[in-house]
Structure 1
Amino acid sequence: MSAHPGARVVLVAAMASGQGKTTVTAALARRLIRMGKRVRVFKCGPDFVDPVMLESACGTPVHNLDLWMVGLEACRQRLQDAALDADAILVEGVMGLYDGAPSSADLARAFGIPVLAVLDASAMAQTAGAVAQGLRDYGPVQMAGVIANRVASSGHAAMVKESLRDIPLIGTLARQEHHLPERQLGLVLPGEVEELQRILDALADSIEFDEAAWDALPVMAPALAPAHAVPAQIDTPLAGRTIAIAHDPSFMFMYPANVELLKALGAQITYFAPLSDDAVPDHADAVYLPGGYPELHGAALQGATRWRDSIRAAHARGVPIVAECGGMMALADGLTDSDGRRWEMAGLLPGEVAMQQRLAGLGMHALATPEGELRGHTFHYSLLATDVPPQAHTVKQRTQTPGEAVYRVGSLFASYFHGYFPSNPRAVAALFGGAP
């Protein structure tokens, strides 16, 4: 059998947020799958919600790529592994193409990935060409082509195509009757969208796609491992330990790579649902409460007395508890939602959480630990008022100034900081009580 030739790879980017990158990426993934292609999708930057939506579109886990948080070589390995068995790889960018440091454009240049620009054409026609050429030449980046979103008619599409000059128009997407709705932290979660699969299929049906232009794109060949290569060995300091992970619509913001790493470190993973009033499993040696939307489920969490009693009991037993952002919010004394309603939470971290109208924290952060730097990010609309003194603060990647507070209350580690666990496996093992 001949070796797999590799995959066509594009970075789906735009001049700004709100142009329809996720909608186009989801539609294109579904369309390529219908064409018989094996599709892998990645998300550039620190993001939880878009990858969950994109996973619904393509049917496989969506990992994050970021030159700082994930690292150059880890990103390279992810892409090369995907090219071993995929025909198409779509990398959805973050914000605008050149926004951030590192930016989506930096990622594209690092790996020679051509950019597929999404242009919201709803309020422009020939100016689309100027935008596309500006996106290409400013960096510069290699431009695979354009997908024009929210096109009004075939005549409108023709004007856009003519304006692009030497840049291919690979596809157009009409103004959508049904679209993927949004909220303050990004797109809503798939379980909250009625008939999501029907919407994704409708988007795939409506995209006008130039298959010949797609087939003309270059192929990324999978890297061949040296014949003498030895599989990498990893210590297993979490061997024999069971980590219970909260997983329901209140606690869904997890990097897939985080769970993969915990397993690679030897941990057994079990899941429980606080919203269903599941208790922390008695056999759990550690608990992971990731972020999510606890503010949307205040009444259910307040009423989940079995869950609240069990997390208090686990804390009293000294079970390590790692609570990130929404997970931390659910462990405060109370949570006041955007409508001003206060709900009783678990009360492990003395203090009150209140939702804000404006963004309260955003950006890449690093946490210094005895085992070295753990990288990650923060993104939240709430504030915590507490008299508990922080044990430490993260450091903002961009400014090197203090960032999010880190609280230690007994066996509880809590912060608005979302850690990307593969950036420091030894630090993560220590957080979850692993053997030194």
Structure 2
Amino acid sequence: MTWIEIAENSPFGPENLPLGIFRVGDEEPRMGAAIGDQVIDLAPLASAQMLDGSQFAEPSLNAFLALGRPAWHATREWLLELVRNENERDSVEPYLIPQSAVTMQLPFEVSDYVDFYASEHHATNVGRLFRPDAEPLLPNWKHLPVGYHGRAGTVVASGTDIVRPSGQWKAPGADAPTYGPSQRLDIEVELGYVVGSPSILGRPVPITDFKEHVYGVVLVNDWSARDLQAWEYVPLGPFLGKSFATSISPWVVSLDALEASAVRLGKQEPPVLPYLAGEELTNFDITFEVYWNSALVSSPPYREMYWSPAQMLAHLTVNGASVRTGDLFASGTVSGGEKDQRGSFLELSWGGREPVTVDGEPRTFLEDGDEVTITGWAATPDGTKIGLGSVTGRILPAVS
């Protein structure tokens, strides 16, 4: 498949070719494609081949994303030819850089950030924890993809340290809230969708146009302060408990690379309204792994998500709201039906009542110094794995 030597367990085989922004030393950041444990330096390579590669020299993917699907497809076909054709070896090898020699950057400038709530397993678990005396799913949940607007300015690159947030939280049985550092700091395993082509204000995006607007995906860890969230979320939903930080992986995997891992969306009952309905709706056969201080604690499956990404985008825009180049919308926490498939520590420890063993100690929520890494890969029918890379963050003490 390729003349480039790639380790058998590499997440970035020749059919993947995710895009990201890297820096070498003090050089300006620029765009590259990952293959194996190397980065293809695209700007000088395109120049050497007498191609217009100005977008590859930009410090974010936004200029490339704005070019739209024909350009995305042409770039992928060019890259596939470069790595598959032995005759291209001499022209490409000078522009291969070991990933160990680069520093990855935030891959794109985030214009807007929307977070959904698309896992029935997760929504049911949270409903049982937050509202134990009521139905776990609220009446609207199976009629629309529930979501909220986050803060684009606090979306950070993998490897960025996360400062423990402070805010109001109310202890059980207390008459009044307390201000201070969050005591129930959590993660959320999510898949994020990266918008390339913008839409027009006032014109909804139909589910059939999903691939015309979305370039690809990143791994997302939407850090969550559960004590802040529980006190503040009624009646308007998440705010300070979510807005302090959201981490994303450095490599953006294209929808074209993921195409072979698509699986049909499960049956939705009751039937959804027409603007959310379609015969070809799909999710992806992606498995995540969550490492808490290097201990594997969970493996959530994405294929069981109740809402598809095309439905999320359709609902996001059905009121006429537009999307812009660089918009990010995420799936919400990915959880499966088994305990070791839960995508948050809130669920994994069942609200703190069932500790998880980490480093030989019982743990419930994150402590200062803890590090969380989320990895993921998509499986295809022929056994190929399309890696999504990883997203990592370490908890720092709250600012006094």
Name the structure, 1 or 2, with higher relative contact order (CA <8 Å, separation 6+). Answer: 2
Q: Give the TM-score taking structure 1 as reference length.
A: 0.23
TM-score (structure 2 length as normaliser) = 0.24
